[in-house]
Structure 1
């Protein structure tokens, strides 16, 4: 960042002094937030790019086992799904089939998700015309899964999740301070506002690229930050998600399970709608002559009592999905004797591209009765905003959305790299110093800092706590230790 020539403006000296203090205070906040955020911005942008091209990467890796030569079967219809399921169960007798994903076209295989005896999960790929198994895909071995795990936890669990949440929260401070530094409030900033000057040296070029791209895309970056924070462990899971969750109490006379919808996800893949993850699943009941078996009973006791305990079968569920209007969807199998068949189509899982068509339907595994049917119309305002926001965040709406997200990721990488290069160029050579911007002259602006910290703590707890911790360290340690003081100067 290039320091503006504030004296070039025709303002009284006291106003100039306040402007200069305000500028350096903002720049210093921007600098320290940037040092922490830049590595995370690079990581999130790169892993985001990988996830955007998940389908293309999967096709390149598994194209042979995913494809079906439908022209060879032009004279016959696909086999019933039950026949394909039987072939999978015969091939993997020790495995548990948990999900059916119908093919997206006649040229690709159907998928059955199978949890193996060693607890690993694989997609078993089945030719729908002859029930031949063409191959398997280890769901934990996908590039998407790896990128998603890094994107969400840095592969170190909750600690990584908290670090990323801190970085995303500090990005809000980075954006607000960056916009202030970018706006043309003096001659120096007016000279480079919305311009890329290529003939004034590398520092000016880097400054123009960093400031103008960051300023123009600040609202876009803020959108990515806030929609991404919806998955964070504190801001998302503890604060925002509960307010956007669908209340199971809306289901009339339907018993609910101890499991919630999040239990239907496979690993870190977010397959259930965000606003349903915390909502309990409904339960199936075995009904005979007005009697029922609930979660406290077993299938064995039901049989002894002469009650029907057989499932309705996958073919009936698939047909019911068609009758209900589902096109592309995922079908989750019951996880227990009182579990339900769950048919879900949503943008978060990549089944559909229009979030207003999100739908999750639960079907009694014994009677075929629809126990619960949640659509976009049942979402509250927060849930609708997040459903649309997550779809845009993931590039699921359209090819234009996907291309735009690629451009944004590349732009965010450029912003991070130019910011790092600017710091590297202006740091004191040969000295053990960060090269932080000068401290502001004390002119009462500490009140602005305190007010800002309070606001951040309220809006983004993890960032607020981090700032308070750093200020405490500075007050108790750094100012009394010459080495730290010089390093941070």
Structure 2
């Protein structure tokens, strides 16, 4: 009597399973073709930003150090020293030193540029000045977000991030233990066998270990993207200004505090309107009769719980406000739960807005933590994790190319992609699964629909194209 595994039904199940595996592998292969160069770029620029922030500071503040000497000078005296270093400039921002050995940093704008000035807070001497957002960190940041080509680059990266999620889903399926291979064995790389098999084992093992963390990084990165992030996720997760009781609002949003496309404002606040000065709204902060200036605002900030490093933005325009901000995204602290933004009326000194992590919605809280994790802001463990993740992504990208090259026949002038399964219906089913995943991200879904249409209507019917892409 035939063994049960030899029955026609069992053989059909095995055939279907193999066809679905091949379908998944084909989608994994084609998604990887597009994603690999982007993943390498994101990993390399990510590491540059990560270590630049550690070594020289997000704003270049670690280029200089000071010797503590008793009491610091009044902040206004430090600000005057900074302003004198940039003739014709206007003070815009004060970045409070994180430690007693770090300088105070001021941003001073002119009509043509924005300068950062480091000042010794004990002696009032100017230690140096440099053009804002013109360092290695900032170059890597712009490449990381836009490829130096603006919105087009942003869209290309958004598509790649969506396909990277497809890679994770298909990769997990391809890794999943089958054919008698146990889970324990699947979690350890196998170094026996031919060269390509070793590369495949390493690729799968590294990929499965980083898949969840990589997914978190992709989602947090996509939330900054121009379509899925700004138009969809961020739009419905924006902190509602209606929560501020009878506070006059400006025409500008918090995003106006960003600089040159570089994000500085908490994600959930970016699209929220700024409050406006010029009313009696808010509650008292600075005592009546006391001038509302940089000295009194800093003293109040300290009394309100802003310790360590925070950033003070000066009022801009007649209805501008003093903004006191501490957020992990700007590298002010290592704890996203302590994120806080406060706005003061420039005339009365009243607190118009005081919003912290606890006030954010669920998506805003997730992004505050997610961005801090993404940027490596939460301490040594986060720095180590991100460095290992970037190296792992580079390895996965390179090993994927190596496996393709080793599988490719010598001298072949085609892609040598995994074959289309003979059972076309099942191939369509597999395509629909991948389509459902990708359509969660509109740009990726649009590209996928286009590729599917071309594949079904053009490529498979034009023999030279079919051969080249097979």
Residue equivalent to 1:264:
257
Q: Describe the shift of the 1:199–1:17 C-alpha distance in structure 2 as closer, same or farther (beyond 3 A).
A: closer
Residue equivalent to 1:16:
14
Match of 1:217 among 198, 202, 210: 210
**C-alpha contact 2:315 2:346 (8 A) present in aligned 1:** yes
Structure 2 residue ranges without an equivalent (≥5): 282-289
Q: Describe the shift of the 1:450–1:208 C-alpha distance in structure 2 as closer, same or farther (beyond 3 A).
A: closer
Other structure's SS at 2:239 match:
coil
Shift of 1:463: 0.8
Residue equivalent to 2:110:
116
Shift of 1:223: 1.0
2:398 & 2:63 partners in 1: Cα distance?
40
Q: Deviations over 1:268-314 (max 9, x none)?
A: 33221110010010000066xx9xxxxxxxxxxxxxxxxxxx97211
**C-alpha contact 2:248 2:279 (8 A) present in aligned 1:** no
Match of 2:414 among 400, 409, 433: 433
Residue equivalent to 1:49:
47
**C-alpha contact 1:145 1:268 (8 A) present in aligned 2:** no
Residue equivalent to 2:287:
none
Q: Describe the shift of the 1:64–1:461 C-alpha distance in structure 2 as closer, same or farther (beyond 3 A).
A: closer
Residue equivalent to 2:77:
83
1:242 & 1:110 partners in 2: Cα distance?
36
1:41 & 1:156 partners in 2: Cα distance?
17
Residue equivalent to 1:482:
463
Residue equivalent to 2:293:
313
Residue equivalent to 1:204:
197
1:53 & 1:266 partners in 2: Cα distance?
21
2:336 & 2:6 partners in 1: Cα distance?
52
Shift of 1:457: 5.0
1:12 & 1:115 partners in 2: Cα distance?
74
Shift of 1:473: 2.5
Give aligned pairs, total: 457
Residue equivalent to 1:241:
234
Other structure's SS at 1:444 match:
helix
Residue equivalent to 2:285:
none
1:121 & 1:143 partners in 2: Cα distance?
17
Other structure's SS at 1:135 match:
strand
Match of 1:326 among 302, 306, 320: 306
**C-alpha contact 1:213 1:411 (8 A) present in aligned 2:** yes
**C-alpha contact 2:20 2:430 (8 A) present in aligned 1:** no
**CA RMSD after TM alignment:** 2.5
2:8 & 2:180 partners in 1: Cα distance?
10
Residue 349 in structure 1 maps to residue 347 in structure 2: no
Q: Deviations over 1:219-259 (max 9, x none)?
A: 11111111111111111111111222110111111111111
Other structure's SS at 2:329 match:
coil
Shift of 1:481: 2.9
Residue 156 in structure 1 maps to residue 149 in structure 2: yes
Match of 2:353 among 368, 372, 386: 372
1:482 & 1:454 partners in 2: Cα distance?
26
1:114 & 1:10 partners in 2: Cα distance?
78
**C-alpha contact 1:192 1:208 (8 A) present in aligned 2:** no
Match of 2:450 among 469, 473, 485: 469
1:404 & 1:278 partners in 2: Cα distance?
31
Residue equivalent to 2:426:
445
Match of 2:133 among 113, 125, 140: 140
Other structure's SS at 2:415 match:
coil
1:192 & 1:156 partners in 2: Cα distance?
45
> Scaled by the length of structure 2, what TM-score is found?
0.92
Other structure's SS at 2:413 match:
coil
1:290-301 equivalent positions in 2, closer than 5 A: none
1:190 & 1:451 partners in 2: Cα distance?
28
Shift of 1:474: 2.6
Residue 58 in structure 1 maps to residue 51 in structure 2: no
Shift of 1:381: 0.8
**C-alpha contact 2:166 2:438 (8 A) present in aligned 1:** no
1:39 & 1:348 partners in 2: Cα distance?
26
